[in-house]
Structure 1
Amino acid sequence: MTKALVVDDSHFMRTVISDILENGGVEVIDTAANGKQAVKKVEELDPDVVTMDVEMPEMNGIEAVEAITERHPTPILMLSALTTEDADATLEAMEKGAVDTFAKPGGTISTELSGHSEELVAAVEDVAAADPTAGHDVQQSAPTTSTPAADADYVENPTLLIGASTGGPNVVESILSALPGEAKFRVLIVQHMPDQFTSRFANRLDQTSEYDIKEAADGDRISGGEGLVARGDYHMQVSGYSNGRLRVRLDQSERRHSVRPAIDVTMESAAEHIMDPLVAVVLTGMGTDGADGIRAVKDAGGSTFAQDEATSAVFGIPERAIETGCVDEVLPADRLTEAITDSIRRST
C-alpha cells in the first residue's frame, strides 16, 4: 500500500485530503501543517509520496520541496489553488524537484475537492511511482549540441512535436532552452497539465528559449521560430498547413487515454497535414498517450525519439512508444536536443 504524508496549513484540508486518500486505498501515515514539519517527517517516516500545499507559514511549499529533494529525495505532488500566483509557485516547486501538480478546484479550502477524489488518488499513485531525482537532475545538466548553431545547415520548414506528462515540465524546458533558433522549428507541445497552468508554463518556456512560445488559442497560426503549448483541458489539432505555416484547432472532444489534451491527437493530426520534415519526441509520464502519435509520425516519414528510463521520472509513455518499434532513438534527457537538431541537418 502506498504511504503518503499530507502537508497543508489548513486542518480542514488535511482532513479532507487524508480521508480521500484513505478511502482510495492510500495509507496516510501522518500529516504536517507547514514545510518545516514536512521536511522533518519525511526524514523520520520515509513516505512513498508527499502531497504538498504551496502557501504555508514558517516554510512554504517551494522551500520544503527544495529541502526534501536535497536531504531525502521523495516523490512530491503539489496541491495548488487555481490562481496565477499558485501556478507560478507550483512551476517553481517543480523546478526544485516536485514531480507533478494537482489543482484544488474551487480554491484553497473547498469541499469541491471531494468531487475529484478518483483523480486525486490516481495522481498520488502516479507520483508515488516516480523517480524523485530524475526530473530534477536534468535541470542540472546542460544539454549538448554537436556543432555551433551558426555553422549548421538545416532543412526548411521543420516541425517539432513534444509530448510529456508526469515529470515532464523540467525536461521540456531543458529541450527548448537549448533548441537553436536558427533551426526555425514550428514547435507544438502537449504537456499533461491542468488548465490555468498551461499559460504560465508557456510563459516560462518563452522566457527561457529562443522561440516565441505561447499557450494555444483556437485558430492560431505559427511559422518558424514559434511554438504553442496545448491549453489545459483542450485537444490541440493541426487543422491546416501551407507555405511553412500551420494552423491549430482546439476542442473539448472526448478524452483519449483519459486525458485532454492528448499527445496522440496533436501528433496524428500533424502527421496527416504536414508534408515538410517532422520530428516527434515523447518524454517522461504515466500511461500510453503518445504511442499512436509516434507511430503516425514514423509512418509519415518523420524522425522519432523517446526519453530513456534512467532519466524519466516515470517511464510509461516512452516505454509504450518504444514498444511500437517506431522510435528511432532512445536517449537521456540531456541528449535529446542534439538528436532533434541533428535529424534536420542537411546531408553534405
Structure 2
Amino acid sequence: MTRTKTTQRGGTDPVSAVVVDDSQFMRTVICDMLEDAGIDVLGTASNGADGVETVVETGPDVVTMDLKMPGVDGIEAVDQIMTERPTPVLVLSAHAADGAELTFEAMEKGAVDFFEKPSGEVSVGLKQQQESLVSAVRSVANADISATEAAAERARQSTTGGPSSGSTPPMTEYPDRPTLLVGSSTGGPTVVEGILETLPIEADFRVLVVQHMPDGFTERFAARLDDASEYSVREATDGDRIGGGEALVARGGSHLEVSGYGGGRLRVSLTEAEPVNNVRPAVDVTFRTAADRIDDPLSAAVLTGMGSDGAAGVEAVNAAGGAVIAQDEETSAVFGMPQRAIETGVVDEVRPREELVAGILNATTKQQ
C-alpha cells in the first residue's frame, strides 16, 4: 500500500490503543492501566495474526506489542502492520539478552520504541511502572511513523539488494582528533546505527552515544552498532578510555561524563546522580562535560526523541567552539529533541537522517 506521512498528534489529544499479548493476565493488566489513564483500548489480541487483524479493523493510534507469541510473533506482526495499516507500535520487551535482540529486530521492522517488561511479580512491577508505561504509549502515539517506515523499508532493501540507506561524500582531509557526540531517544536506535554504519573510519572520530534506553539493553545496542560499523563500539564502563576509531554507548541507568581528555584520548566516568530532564543517562550531562574537557574539534548531533534533553548541552558545545547538527522534522519519528536544540539558535546544520553523516563531516571540517 502507499505509505504517507502521518500528522503528529498533540500531547493532550485522546489516544486509542490495541493491546497484543499472548498472556490473558498481561492483557488485562495493561488494558486496566491504560484505561485508568484515559486511553481508549479498542481491542486486544493473543497472537500476532489476530493483532494485525484487530489493528486493521479498529484503526488505533498506537499498538502495544508483545514479541514472543505462538504462530505469528511480534516481529512479523510489526512488519505486517507497517504494510497493511501503518500504526505506531510500542514493543513490550522482556529484560533478557534474547529480549533485547528481538526488540531491536522489531524496531528495524518499524516499531517506534519499546518499554521494558518488569521482572519478578508481573502485576506489582507493572503497577509500579504505570505512569512510565502510559507516558511511553502517549509518546509513541504522537510519533510520525513515516520516519520509522522508511527505516523498515531500507532494512528490507538491504536484504534484497536494493539501494543503500545513504552515502558519504568522499573527502581527502579530515580534522585532527575529532570527537562526535550523539544524543537520541524515541525512534533513535536505527538512526544511530545508520550514522555509525556510514561514518568513515578514516575520519578517526572518538564517538560517545547517549540513547535513552534502560540498563540491560544498552550492552546489546552497543554490540549491534559494533557489528554494523568499522568503529570499535562497546558499552561504557566507569573509567573507560577511547581513542580514534572507537565509540562508547552510555550504559542504561547511568550518566556518562567526560572526566578527562589528553593526547587525543577520552576518559569517561559513570554516575548514578539524579536524573536530568527526567532521564538517566541524559544527553545534556555528556554534552556539557565533553564541552568542558575537549579542546580538539568537537561536534554534537541531536536526533529524534521526545522532550528537550540535549538543548542545554548543544549550547555548551557551541560556547566551546564546537559544531551542532540536528535531525530534520521530516525524518524524525518525534521532533521534540531536535526542535528544542534548533530553538536555541546554535545549530549549524539541520539534515535528514540519510545526510546526517555528511552534515557532521561538513560541520566538523569547518573547525580546522
Instruction: Give the TM-score, by structure 1 length.
Output: 0.97
Q: Select which of 70, 73, 78 maps to 2:83.
A: 70
- Give the whole-Å Cα distance in 2 for the aligned partners of 1:313 and 1:347: 30
User: Which residue does the alignment assign to 1:316?
Assistant: 336
Paired amino acid for 1:153: E
Check if 1:146 corresponds to 2:169. yes
- Give the whole-Å Cα distance in 1 for the aligned partners of 2:340 and 2:367: 31
Paired amino acid for 1:144: S
Displacement of 1:108 after TM fit?
Answer: 9.1
User: Which residue does the alignment assign to 2:231?
Assistant: 211
Displacement of 1:112 after TM fit?
Answer: 1.2
- Give the whole-Å Cα distance in 2 for the aligned partners of 1:122 and 1:347: 40
Q: Is the 8 A contact 1:152 1:345 kept in 2?
A: no
Q: Is the 8 A contact 2:302 2:326 kept in 1?
A: yes
Check if 1:25 corresponds to 2:38. yes
User: Which residue does the alignment assign to 2:114?
Assistant: 101
1:1-348 correspondence to structure 2 within 5 Å: 1-106=14-119, 109-138=122-151, 140=154, 142-147=165-170, 151-345=171-365
Paired amino acid for 2:267: R
Displacement of 1:143 after TM fit?
Answer: 2.0
- Give the whole-Å Cα distance in 1 for the aligned partners of 2:42 and 2:148: 25
Q: Is the 8 A contact 1:95 1:136 kept in 2?
A: no
Displacement of 1:132 after TM fit?
Answer: 1.5
Displacement of 1:343 after TM fit?
Answer: 2.7
Q: Is the 8 A contact 1:143 1:337 kept in 2?
A: no
Judge which range, 47-56 or 24-33, deviates more. 24-33
Aligned CA distance change for structure 1 residues 115 and 32 (closer, same or farther; 3 Å):
same
Q: Is the 8 A contact 1:144 1:334 kept in 2?
A: yes
Paired amino acid for 1:193: M
Q: Is the 8 A contact 1:307 1:330 kept in 2?
A: yes
- Give the whole-Å Cα distance in 2 for the aligned partners of 1:34 and 1:152: 53
SS in 1 for 2:338: helix
Paired amino acid for 2:240: D
SS in 2 for 1:133: helix
Q: Deviations over 1:172-194 (max 9, x none)?
A: 01111000000010000000011
SS in 2 for 1:224: coil
- Give the whole-Å Cα distance in 2 for the aligned partners of 1:316 and 1:346: 27
Aligned CA distance change for structure 1 residues 107 and 101 (closer, same or farther; 3 Å):
farther
- Give the whole-Å Cα distance in 2 for the aligned partners of 1:299 and 1:345: 18
Q: Is the 8 A contact 1:12 1:109 kept in 2?
A: no
For structure 2, list consecutive stretches of 5 or more residues without a partner in the other structure. Answer: 1-13, 155-163
Aligned CA distance change for structure 1 residues 347 and 298 (closer, same or farther; 3 Å):
closer
- Give the whole-Å Cα distance in 1 for the aligned partners of 2:349 and 2:203: 20
Q: Is the 8 A contact 1:143 1:175 kept in 2?
A: no
Q: Deviations over 1:216-264 (max 9, x none)?
A: 1111000000000000010000000010001111011010111000000
For structure 1, list consecutive stretches of 5 or more residues without a partner in the other structure. Answer: none
- Give the whole-Å Cα distance in 1 for the aligned partners of 2:339 and 2:363: 21
- Count residues with an aligned counterpart: 345
Displacement of 1:12 after TM fit?
Answer: 0.1
Q: Is the 8 A contact 2:110 2:151 kept in 1?
A: no
Paired amino acid for 1:200: R
**What stretches of structure 1 move > 4 A for 4+ residues in a row?**
107-110
- Give the whole-Å Cα distance in 1 for the aligned partners of 2:323 and 2:365: 12
Displacement of 1:111 after TM fit?
Answer: 3.2
- Give the whole-Å Cα distance in 2 for the aligned partners of 1:306 and 1:20: 35
% identical equivalent positions: 57
- Give the whole-Å Cα distance in 2 for the aligned partners of 1:29 and 1:90: 24
